[in-house]
Structure 1
Amino acid sequence: MKPARLLWLALLPPLAACNRSASQVAAPITRTPAATVSATDAAKPFRPPPESAIPDDDFGKQVALGRQIFMEPGRYAKAYVGNSLSCENCHLDAGRLAHSAPLWGAYPMYPAYRSKNHHVNTFAERLQGCFRYSMNGNAPPLGDPVLVALESYAYWMSKGEPVGAAPPGHGYLKLPKPRLAPDYARGETIFKRDCALCHGGNGQGQQVAGHTVFPPLWGPQSFNWGAGMEQINNAAGFIKANMPLGQGNTLTDQDAWDVAYFMDAHERPQDPRFNGSISTTRAAYHDTSDSLYGSTVNGHVLGQGTTWP
């Protein structure tokens, strides 16, 4: 994230397009990276087929539609989207990039038991959760054409991988716990230095002609309190491996933890599982040191939610 072009979250249009945008607003980074990638993660990741390999048949049409939905859910799945984010904001390069929760790293791992909802989830159910939490919207019903197309895209991208074996580069980078506890003030300094130019001093991102070029990191148009990125360890791993865009592993581990803490220490839409009490909702769904839901930061109890004025 130099100068100021961080985060994430996750959250951006096609990787090539984002790299062009980033190059227009920031100079090349020369900071020496701190190596913390495990031996497993350092192994060569799976290489999914290029977009040009999508077959020209009826199945290929579903794959292509799934890619369109993935890139522009607000256009192709509008009924189920509640914010300005796209799937690619957390799963970079159209869901292809290692260490940004690529689709080819997720599809072969389902069905799987998830502690988040305490039952075995199909891949389609996992996609439902993305709409409900990361997109702050509504889950498409099972069998809906949106889910069918997205699952077709993920299946096509994953062909050739072993089933049930987590490939190198799947998910987000797992960072060791930092030497110092993540800190809001240090994170704010990093954000101003490396992130604010693209994501705005208020973290609300930038739009061009109604299209989100750099995504909001908190506030009413960001992911809600039920999304995985609200957990500091997930955000730190994503940031470390991928930010600044196209130049991952240039922040130190400590910087990644600190700026992830700063990002997640801001209010965002309410967890849809909210049961009327922040404390009991935390106990039920956020009882981990990696979640700030229900914590008091700068005198504010997080988890109250936010909506458009």
Structure 2
Amino acid sequence: MSARTALAFAAAAALLLSACDNIRPPRTGKQPSSDAAPAGAPATAAAPAVAAAPGEFSPPSEADIPEGPFGDMVRRGRDIFLDTPTHAGEFVGNDLSCGNCHLDAGRKADSAPLWGAWVRYPAFRGKNQRVNNFTERLQGCFTYSMDGTAPPAGHDVVVALEAYSFWMSQGAPVGATLPGAGYPKGERPDTPPDFARGEAVYAANCAICHGADGQGQQGDGRTVFPPLWGPKSFNWGAGMHQLDNAAAFIRANMPLGKGGTLSVQDAWDVALYMNGHERPQDPRFTGDVAETRTRFHDDPDSPYGTTVDGRLLGANPATR
């Protein structure tokens, strides 16, 4: 392993260890989003489980995965979750893994944990204006967050991820919106988010892990810290491109191990900076940016099809 690679992995390990001591910010009481989707944490490792606060659901420990065929499938789902390009590469088009958005191997509250999602499906989603089952929700992650191809229903990749989600959610009340599910949305800044302010926040808090160019860090061919924009990041259809989703995730979880330390304003500013850069095109692109925005991004929190820092976002999508 090169010195640079070793340093990157050491930085990742240090940050992951510090994440175990993270104190969550106070809850806002707002409903979380069920459509949140990817960026912000290492894809190659998971921090030990963080103890649940009173009243929160506490998922099982990895040590509780049973032996036998079911446990084997759960472990396969965990491996796919933590290093998706390696274990499900035929369906992944970028350098992200499920664990980039769903921290602590899908356990951590306020980072769209699996136990908060499994019990809420089937559910109606505004994204496609119909009721989705959990399989369809997973397929959407591959299409948008992974900028890839949805594995067919019944494929072993889907079955393994479903098994991992089911196992983690045992004991959680079905149909409930549990505290800590989704991302803790609701807080909005006093002034509209600003690209230049966000650039300063990014330089001070994010560039050390994700790079000054936002392209993350790799070691031995694996992603240590994920790219936040550009050709290897999530595409314009992913939920994380929405400023409210990104700001909520950032405020609760970033910098890694120091969630809650950025102000609401800082979180929104840096969310705009992150999503004020180009990324792969929305797979639903109609051939016209304005039409695509009208049909799929008619939301003030979506920067797609708007001009940020002199760029019409979506007009020149990033390509590999």
Change (3 A) 1:112 1:299: same
Change (3 A) 1:234 1:17: farther
1:38 paired residue number: 28
Q: Does 1:22 align with 2:15?
A: yes
Q: Does 1:306 align with 2:296?
A: no
SS in 1 for 2:224: strand
The number of equivalent residue pairs is: 287
Note the 1:265-280 alignment, pairs <5 A.
Answer: 265-280=276-291
Q: Does 1:254 align with 2:265?
A: yes
Q: Matches of 1:22 and 1:97 in 2, distance apart?
A: 15
1:219 paired residue number: 230
Long gaps (5+) in structure 2: 1-8, 32-52
> Which of 148, 154, 172 pairs up with 1:161?
172
Long gaps (5+) in structure 1: 1-15, 27-32
Taking structure 2 as the reference length, what is the TM-score of the superposition?
Answer: 0.85
User: 2:101 is aligned with what amino acid?
Assistant: C
Q: CA deviation at 1:34?
A: 11
Q: CA deviation at 1:191?
A: 0.4
1:8 paired residue number: none
Retained in 2: the 8 A contact 1:175–1:253? Answer: no
Q: Matches of 1:145 and 1:17 in 2, distance apart?
A: 33
1:84-133 deviation line (CA, Å, top 9, x unaligned): 11100000010000000000000000001111111110100000000000
Q: Does 1:89 align with 2:89?
A: no
1:69 paired residue number: 80
1:135-176 deviation line (CA, Å, top 9, x unaligned): 000000111111011001000000001110100000001132
2:160 paired residue number: 149
Query: Please, what is the CA RMSD of the aligned residues?
Result: 2.2
SS in 2 for 1:212: strand
Q: CA deviation at 1:286?
A: 0.5
Instruction: Give structure 1 regions of 4+ aligned residues with deviation exceeding 6 angstroms.
Output: none
Retained in 2: the 8 A contact 1:18–1:213? Answer: no
Taking structure 1 as the reference length, what is the TM-score of the superposition?
Answer: 0.88
Change (3 A) 1:18 1:140: farther
Retained in 1: the 8 A contact 2:235–2:280? Answer: yes
Retained in 1: the 8 A contact 2:230–2:279? Answer: yes
1:245-302 deviation line (CA, Å, top 9, x unaligned): 1121011111111101110111000000001000010011111011000001122110
Q: Does 1:203 align with 2:209?
A: no
1:41-85 deviation line (CA, Å, top 9, x unaligned): 886321110111111011111111110110111111111000111
Retained in 2: the 8 A contact 1:19–1:246? Answer: no
Retained in 1: the 8 A contact 2:25–2:259? Answer: no
Retained in 2: the 8 A contact 1:184–1:261? Answer: yes
Retained in 1: the 8 A contact 2:30–2:185? Answer: no
2:295 paired residue number: 284
SS in 2 for 1:238: helix
User: 2:160 is aligned with what amino acid?
Assistant: A
User: 1:38 is aligned with what amino acid?
Assistant: T
2:3 paired residue number: none
Change (3 A) 1:253 1:43: farther
Percent pairwise identity: 57
Retained in 1: the 8 A contact 2:30–2:186? Answer: no
